[in-house]
Chain A
Amino acid sequence: MAAMKQIIVEGKTYTVEDESAALQGEGGTMLAPWGKNETLKYVGKRFPKKVAREKVTGEAKYAYDVQLPGMLHARVLRSSHANAKLLDLETSAAEKLPGVRAVLSHKNAGKQPWDRERAVFKDHVRLIGDDIAAVAADTEQIADDAVRLIKVKYEVLPHVIDVREAMRPGAPKLQPYGNIWEGKPKVYERGDLAKGFAAADVVLEETYTTSEQHHACLEMHGCVAHWQNGMLTVWDSTQGVHLTRDLLALKLRLPISKVRVLNEHLGGGFGSKNGVKEYHVIAAMLSRATGSPIRLFLDRFETFLLSSHRPLTIQKIKAGFKKDGALTAIDYEVIGRGGAWNDRGMYWAAPAVGSPTNELYKCPNLRTTNIPVHTNLSSPGACRGPGNTENLFALEQFMDEAAEKLDLDPIALRLKNFTAVYQPKNEPYFSNGLRESYEAAAKTFGWQRRKPKSTVEGTKRRGIGMSAVHWHGFEGEPSQALVTIYPDGTVEVNVGIANLGVGAQVIFAQIAAEEIDVPLEMVRVAYGDSAGTPYTINSSYGSRTTFQGGPAVRMAAADAKQQLIALAAETLKVPVADVQYAGGVFAAKSQPEKKANFKEVTGKLGWMQGRHLLIGKGKRLPNPAGRKVDIFGAQMVEVEVDTASGNVKVLRAVLAHDSGRPINTLTYESQVQGGFIQGLGMALYEERILDAETGVQLNANYHEYGCPTALDIPDQVTVVPIETHDLSNNINAKGLGEPPVTGAGGAIANALYNATGVRIRDYPITPSKVLQALRAAV
């Protein structure tokens, strides 16, 4: 048990675990977090990504590109009704088509379960797109032809698409417990709500809706599976090789050691490629049936329809304020549209939404009601910044409305309700850079108290707006890494991660180079193969890769360095304690003339010297107890609204983000800009538009869906890293990938209001909504 200590936060005393003792590693290696002003050589600098050249030459192999000798192509027949029983399924014409090698359906593969309530191939479909049958053929085109030859007879049953309709009595009941997930809303409460509202000078209530944003990863969802000699190998478009492997083993009842998952490059995930989907299992089954490798990728239409999406939410916020802006009570309700099946998607539909409301502002009296609702649709899923994004799009517009009503500057209102304590557990944060983010963003942006409709030019109006950024950090997870030092002095970091493209490889290399004090080019990172890597992270979700894996890499590098020092002591013929190491040179403290450089020492390794390689092992330890990790920031934008067309253009943005210690300031910038652009898309353009009757997505293509293009983004996007000295782990990192999405909606909607005096509480803020609101306002 590590030592406890007392700290005072906002006038209150908290007992927390001491960080220096808590970070003592296995085998006695001490790795306290880097100091606040410690000079670091590689960490905190700009370095291009490690896996770079193959990306620009086209040599990078994504799962989508994998081609194996004898590989067959698969396509899936999907249901065309939102709720129906299969009366008949006729596959013989498909089977007879030349080039077709296998056809699977519930008739011949009905026993393969998907989860506790359904098989992989359904005989009762609950949504348009449910898997009915699959074909493997010599080419994708033949597989496609064959799927079209399968005949299905359905008994069509009633279904429901609209979330409000699904909540009404008499709606088709999709689950034994009804249409609200597990029978009733989930409620979180603290304090005394009635008392809080009674104490308020001003009470405000508004309702906001967010749309179904789709991940729209450029690489579609799919994999290549090869089942050979009882061993399943899968090249997968995945965010995590270990999670996919573990789940495939579970679903197919295979020993974990007989499943291998690879991912060298991933063409976008954003939360949609964690774990397994039916297509993984289908590809494996077809491979087992044919003895050939199977390539199964969804097409773009199927991807939009089925790969998961951010849920549609309806959020009602009611809050009481004192005249000075202090919150007295919040009553918050979120209805989220879920899918037909009782799966993890129901958690993302609503329970995941709402943590900023619970945590971001100091409020003693609060109630949060989550209502996830089943409908005959595919399940929503985690979409970059899941929950927090939906919530902040609503909450941060609400705070702007409250500031207006209270006649306070939006930043002043937020600062008034600032808290350094994680309220649900009454634990202080390790670090909280929210104030610094507001300050730095305001300074860079030139923020000042705004007058509505301040800038006018013809039909164009300009305005500014801001939003806070919030993302929840995580507990320390048991992450592992290896660092090998070779006889020639090169270093290999071995980590069990996929390659999302955000630069985890260069970040891990920087951490190892820093710890071992070797040039960055000497460090290579091995990753992307579940069979050859330790468990570093199950899958890269939650902005955890650097936060969980980085400390393990540093620990492994420190372990390797320790071993190297022991080897140097032997080489120099002095006791270990007498060796000092800096700048690639080992020297005896007692006899400074006794020296050996890095390669002289590593040269003692290897089989020719009768020695093994030197392998450092590292493990991430839990965060010191008693404190919470959360991630903060502030985003500010200026928009120009054309009152003639309703078009909203973001002219510039300032994005200030606290993610602990920035490890690589170049890739940092890419992450923040990219995240903000996805948020901008959700704020202004993106939405799955569904046919109200059937639930078929009408804009299931890039053209009509509306991802931001080069012409939709501001010329100027300034990223301001806010460095907080976080002591939750030995590299001071907190995570960065998701928070940049979360602030865009509030900032843009508030700027729109500042420009025009109208509020759009229903995202995305399309030109037609703006025009309608402008017309209603005159």
Chain B
Amino acid sequence: MATTKGDERLRMSRRSFLKGMGVGAATSTALATGLVKPRAGKAAVPPLVEGLSYVPVELKINGRRYALTIEARRTLADVLRTELNLTGTKIGCDRAECGACTVIVDGRAMYGCSLLAVNVQGREIETIEGLAKNGRLHPLQEAFIEYDAYQCGFCTPGQILAGKAFLDKKKSPTLAEVKQALSGNICRCGAYHHIFEAVLAAAKKL
């Protein structure tokens, strides 16, 4: 008979147990060796917590200061979204693979799902909500609309911020450089060509 705790076995990345065979489960299956897939932001504490550890955190986001008390294991993306209702930062994978959570930290585009909120205190954090100034869109935002550089738009905040961090440093980029700069941001709708056009057009206006 096989006993598992939660969905541990389900989350193994490689098969490391025997296949259960036969009605009545004559053979038992070995289980405890299975790897629990690391889940970003939840790895800071073991999965079975005794008590929750809350910590005070101060964040500087889009030029404003926020003081919060949160669980230490929570990621920046999660805190932005859940505590501050800044839901323009999306989560597509929660493990540094898709770029939906891209934010700018001290001028660099980074994956917000893979930063712990406690670790980015005192740094300048820019999210998509801070880009338009006094109701005026940033040239990248305007270009994204004009060139139809999105379909569903779920990757768009991340694409725009990756593009901004890049254009802040690079004047008159080539197409190849734009592609490289955005290669960490998946667009499942495949809006890439219009995204490239938009970034190149915005570069001319900046």
7 residue pairs, one from A and one from B, having the closest CB atoms: A58-B88, A156-B20, A267-B154, A677-B190, A148-B6, A674-B190, A58-B128
Q: Which residues of B contact A219 (CB under 8 A)?
A: 90, 92, 152, 154
Q: Which residues of A contact B9 (CB under 8 A)?
A: 80-81
**CB <8 Å contact, B153 and A501:** yes
Q: Does A153 contact B (CB under 8 A)?
A: yes
Q: Is the interface of B mostly helix, strand, loop or mixed?
A: loop
Q: Could you tell me which A residues sit within 8 Å of B by CB distance?
A: 48-49, 52-53, 55-62, 64-65, 67, 77-81, 84, 87, 98-99, 128-129, 139, 141-142, 144-145, 147-158, 215-220, 265-270, 299-301, 500-503, 666-667, 669-671, 673-678, 691, 693-694, 696, 698, 701-703, 707-711, 713, 715, 717
A selection of 11 A-B contacts at a CB cut-off of 8 Å is A48-B148, A55-B156, A144-B39, A151-B3, A156-B29, A218-B186, A218-B189, A267-B153, A300-B93, A696-B15, A702-B186
Q: How long is the Cα–Cα vector from A670 to B147 in the complex, in angstroms?
A: 9
Q: Which residues of A contact B148 (CB under 8 A)?
A: 48-49, 503, 666-667, 669-670
Interface range, B side:
35 or more
Q: How long is the Cα–Cα vector from A158 to B48 in the complex, in angstroms?
A: 32
Nearest Cβ on chain B to A92's Cβ, whole angstroms: 14
Chain A, residue nearest B140 (CB)? A56
Q: Which residues of A contact B67 (CB under 8 A)?
A: none
Partner of B25, one of A55, A155, A220, A702: A155
**CB <8 Å contact, A218 and B152:** yes
Q: How long is the Cα–Cα vector from A142 to B49 in the complex, in angstroms?
A: 9
Q: Does B86 contact A (CB under 8 A)?
A: yes
Q: Which residues of B contact A81 (CB under 8 A)?
A: 2, 9, 20
**CB <8 Å contact, B92 and A300:** yes
Q: Which residues of B contact A501 (CB under 8 A)?
A: 150-153, 189
Q: Which residues of B contact A674 (CB under 8 A)?
A: 151, 189-191
Q: Could you tell me which B residues sit within 8 Å of A by CB distance?
A: 1-15, 19-25, 29, 37, 39, 42, 47-49, 52, 71, 73-74, 81-82, 85-95, 97-98, 100, 127-129, 131-132, 137, 141, 144-146, 148, 150-157, 160, 175, 178-180, 182-183, 185-196
Chain A, residue nearest B1 (CB)? A153
Nearest Cβ on chain B to A658's Cβ, whole angstroms: 20
Chain B, residue nearest A154 (CB)? B2
**CB <8 Å contact, A710 and B183:** yes
Q: How long is the Cα–Cα vector from A295 to B192 in the complex, in angstroms?
A: 31
| Among A56, A142, A702: residue with most chain B CB under 10 A | A56
Q: How long is the Cα–Cα vector from A693 to B178 in the complex, in angstroms?
A: 43
Q: How long is the Cα–Cα vector from A451 to B180 in the complex, in angstroms?
A: 34
| Among B8, B10, B23, B185: residue with most chain A CB under 10 A | B10
Q: Which residues of A contact B186 (CB under 8 A)?
A: 218, 702, 707, 709
Q: Which residues of B contact A671 (CB under 8 A)?
A: 151
**CB <8 Å contact, B73 and A65:** no
Given the contacts A57-B141, A141-B42, A80 and B7 also touching, CB distance less than 8 Å: yes
Q: Which residues of B contact A79 (CB under 8 A)?
A: 10
**CB <8 Å contact, B94 and A300:** yes
**CB <8 Å contact, A153 and B3:** yes
Q: Which residues of B contact A152 (CB under 8 A)?
A: 3-4
Q: Which residues of A contact B160 (CB under 8 A)?
A: 56
Nearest Cβ on chain A to B179's Cβ, whole angstroms: 5
Chain A, residue nearest B193 (CB)? A673
Q: How long is the Cα–Cα vector from A710 to B159 in the complex, in angstroms?
A: 11
Partner of A141, one of B2, B74, B156, B192: B74
Given the contacts A53-B145, A58-B127, A693 and B19 also touching, CB distance less than 8 Å: yes
Q: Which residues of B contact A151 (CB under 8 A)?
A: 3-5
Chain B, residue nearest A71 (CB)? B82
Q: Which residues of B contact A49 (CB under 8 A)?
A: 145, 148
**CB <8 Å contact, A693 and B15:** yes
Given the contacts A53-B145, A67-B87, A218 and B155 also touching, CB distance less than 8 Å: yes
Nearest Cβ on chain A to B183's Cβ, whole angstroms: 5
**CB <8 Å contact, B190 and A696:** no
Q: Which residues of B contact A67 (CB under 8 A)?
A: 82, 85, 87
Nearest Cβ on chain A to B47's Cβ, whole angstroms: 5
Q: Which residues of B contact A215 (CB under 8 A)?
A: 188
